[in-house]
Chains A and B, each alone.
Chain A
Amino acid sequence: MIKFDQVTKVYGDKVKAVDNVSFDVPEGNIVVFLGPSGCGKTTTLRMVNRLETITDGKIFVNGTDVNSLNEIELRRKIGYVIQHNGLFPNMTIEDNVMAVPNLIGWDRKKKADRYKYLMDLVGLNPDEYRKRYPHELSGGQQQRVGIARAMAADPPVMLMDEPFGALDPVIRTRIQNEFLQIQQEVKKTILFVSHDIDEAIKMGDAIAIFQNGKLMQYDSPSELLAHPKNEFVREFVGKDRALKSLSLHTVEDLISERMLRKLDGNENSNKKTISVETNLRDALSILLNQEADQLVVQANNKLVGAMKIDDVEAYLHQHIK
């Protein structure tokens, strides 16, 4: 869907912000651009809708070279979300969401339907917010409106530049989850800039990790964690990469590999019930935090067995290492 072909960006004469980057993004995938600040991830993103010029190489969106298109038309066909939402304070929420349809001249009925659909999608009441202004909304609500605006004209591709970076951790986690659900429904091809490895693992179908303008590794999160290609990637993903990779596996995965323990009848032991969809990192956290000696696993409202720290450890050795 999006193809980077030996893309290079040079500022001035010497500074190579992006250096000969090539990779393909399949349709419907979220690819997270990850790296420290100044690594070229944002520049790479901004070359897709030509907010930055491409010095050398080509970027194709849906088979078309972006440089062959009118830049205004191109941008209207690509969703764009930035960190500080960039909502227009002088416009109502409805006008903000409908910014692109207004530019390309949709009729009233089509706009009204689309507005309602999008606001429902991002979990805001369409009528309650219609005539309100951005400053009346919280950061999380503003970012939801920002996402709705990016999807207004139903672009197949979306660019998101640290979209959740300015939100506090609790709201960030909530919006990340909501956004993944939205993505299940809309299946956009998304390029997503982040500097947070945990966010990248959570959101990405694939991660592109950058350093000094060079693409260090482009792989699925589990591959990146299991087999970092070089020292930089190993360091960036952190010493706890084994632990991080646990967040990609659920209790259900563990059950498919190992038998669960039988539920013992001992009422005194410290137990906690979790669902099979819980990821193993969270399960381990609960066990380590001494909230429970063992976890009772629940599937379809039935208790199917129990697990202990040993089980997670064994799974880790057997499956991830």
Chain B
Amino acid sequence: MKNKRLLSFVIKLILFTLVASFFAWSFKSGYYQLIIDDSEGFIFLLKQHINMVLLSILLAIVLAIPMGILVTRPKFQKLQWLFMNIANLGQTIPSLAILALAMTWMGIGFKPAVFALFLYSLLPILRNTVAGIKSIDPNLLDAAKGIGYTPAQILLKIELPNAAYPIMAGIRTAVVINIGTAALAYLVGGGGLGDWIFTGIMMRDNSYLLSGAIPVTLLALLADQLVRFIEKLVISKGLRQSITISD
């Protein structure tokens, strides 16, 4: 046990040192100078990037959660495989291909990029909503029904609150994936920090490359923490599994 802890500490230390020395090297080489020199451009791209992600995620939430609720109603249970398969398909097609397909239909710019990201976010949210609602102990639903909750009250007061953890996890997954995938939006003229990353790749210019890539990484980490914070606010304390006390 003690050895294990020591080992994990050593590994953490090595990784931390690697990351720190990478940053030290890249700072020393002045690779982030671009962010300061062209701060207006940077902020413009950053905003574009965030806008694409936010809009696509909001659209995905607005569609995927009600869809998940719908297919878990007894009446629509038979449709579940259909919706899940469509969403699965969306996820299986490579993101680049979705962008290309969206472009043939919607042209170039912000719109096809948002549309592709939206399609890509549907599955994690839908899948987790369905799994979350289905994993609720049937005894709970029986008890709720038996003491006189209406179907709508069961949904709002029992099913959604008790499925909140997996649903939020689905949203978190989608946000993090999206921030990374949004870098590809450059390819359809959607803008975002991908502009600098691809410029960097094509010109073999570390300045552009890192000034685009590192902020994207940090953005993903930050968004992950932000959604975790929101989770704490919206998920009932009673659902955080902890010690059980015996009589």
Contact = CB atoms under 8 A, between A and B. Distances in A.
A88 B147 contact: no
Nearest to B158: A88
Given A51-B146, A73-B148, A136 B242 contact: yes
Nearest to B141: A86
B148 A82 contact: no
A135 interface: yes
Given A76-B147, A135-B244, A138-B246, A86 B142 contact: yes
A103 B148 contact: yes
Nearest to B149: A103
Q: Is the interface of B mostly helix, strand, loop or mixed?
A: helix
A234 interface: no
Contact of B145 (A51, A99, A136): A51
Interface in A135-188: 135-141, 149-150, 159, 171
Given A89-B162, A133-B237, A136-B242, A72 B147 contact: no
Nearest to A102: B157
B162 A100 contact: no
A73 B149 CA distance: 9
Interface residues of B, number: 29
Contacts, number: 89
B245 A90 contact: no
B180 interface: no
Contact of B147 (A73, A80, A140): A80
Contacts of B92: none
Interface in A64-92: 72-76, 79-80, 82-92
A294 interface: no
A91 B238 contact: yes
A1 B183 CA distance: 71
Contacts of B239: 89-90
B147 A89 contact: no
A159 B30 CA distance: 75
Interface string B125-150: 00000000000010110111111111
B128 to A, nearest CB: 17
A65 to B, nearest CB: 18
B241 interface: yes
Contacts of A141: 247
Interface of B: 137, 139-140, 142-150, 153, 157-158, 161-162, 164, 236-239, 241-247
26 contacts: A49-B146, A51-B145, A51-B146, A72-B148, A73-B148, A74-B148, A80-B146, A82-B146, A83-B139, A85-B139, A86-B140, A86-B142, A89-B236, A90-B161, A90-B164, A90-B238, A100-B148, A103-B148, A133-B238, A136-B244, A137-B245, A138-B246, A138-B247, A141-B247, A150-B147, A171-B247
